[in-house]
Structure 1
């Protein structure tokens, strides 16, 4: 269930925040999922014998494990590379990191425990997810982030109201201060 909650959370962030980094991470998750589908059809590795009679889908690599590996790798990189050092204390970052790793490991274990996948299928899925997640984070951080200002200022970027929070040290404080300073006496968003 964790991948479903993460996908819903990310899609909600994309719809309401329109932050390019979040959009890129969501696109990365979709590419990761498509890669998993292609690999399963190419490898045609059966699921464990307890489940193979009940389902026609293939088991290698584990989709849940690959998803969580990708998300965990990107999330940890975000916490320690992209997020401004003043936003959260190191202790809080480590707590978030530990929670993400624990959630990933529990998801992987559940796939084996429930006989949806073999240990090998889960391990391969997790390893692929981590590798894809690290590679995708690097692509976004090094190659795409420098183009975020142009994307936001493009015709399509303005129509979609895309945003780039890269240079804002703490988005929570920024949004809080802006909403508190917004004039409250009859000014509406559409009046500009």
Structure 2
């Protein structure tokens, strides 16, 4: 653990997410940045439990997106900051791209395919607006967390 002008830095042990341990906001961003890891477990559980083609397609697309992210990293070859403890290239952010795909898939699904049963049309619109806004905000916060936490260690 090294020190910064903001306070001592801590690492979430298995994840190598470095954050300012004196800041609750920094801890919240470190936890939010880990949400893609939790989503992968959700994909696996839902795929096995429900066997719904939508979930399986979404999961397969997410895995293909991870492969695409690896290809982009090989093309750009952007090094991580010197003080970073991670391996491999740092750009584009796997976490941000993961959440971008997740949010885009569900926003398109909610806007084009999903219908809320027994809801009047105005309630359908409100539900879609709330869900889509929440998904986009979540993705945006994960992207911001990657930027803020990377800036912290520079």
Partner of 1:47: helix, strand, or coil?
Answer: coil
TM-score (norm 1): 0.55
**Which residue in 2 is equivalent to 1:17?**
50
Deviations 1:69-110 (A, max 9, x none): 101100101111111264662111111111111110110011
SS of corresponding position for 2:147: helix
Which residue of 2 is the match for residue 106 of structure 1? 141
* Gapped regions of structure 2 (runs ≥ 5): 1-33
Q: CA RMSD in A?
A: 2.0
Report 1:132-171 matches (<5 A). Answer: none
Taking structure 2 as the reference length, the TM-score comes to 0.67
Higher strand share: 2
- Spell out the pairing of 1:51-90 with structure 2 (5 A cutoff): 51=84, 54-84=85-115, 86=117, 89-90=124-125
**How many angstroms apart in 2 are the aligned matches of 1:87 and 1:6?**
29
Count of aligned pairs? 115
CA apart distance, 1:50: 4.0
Higher helix share: 1
Name the larger-Rg structure: 1
Cα 1:87–1:67 change in 2 (3 A) is farther
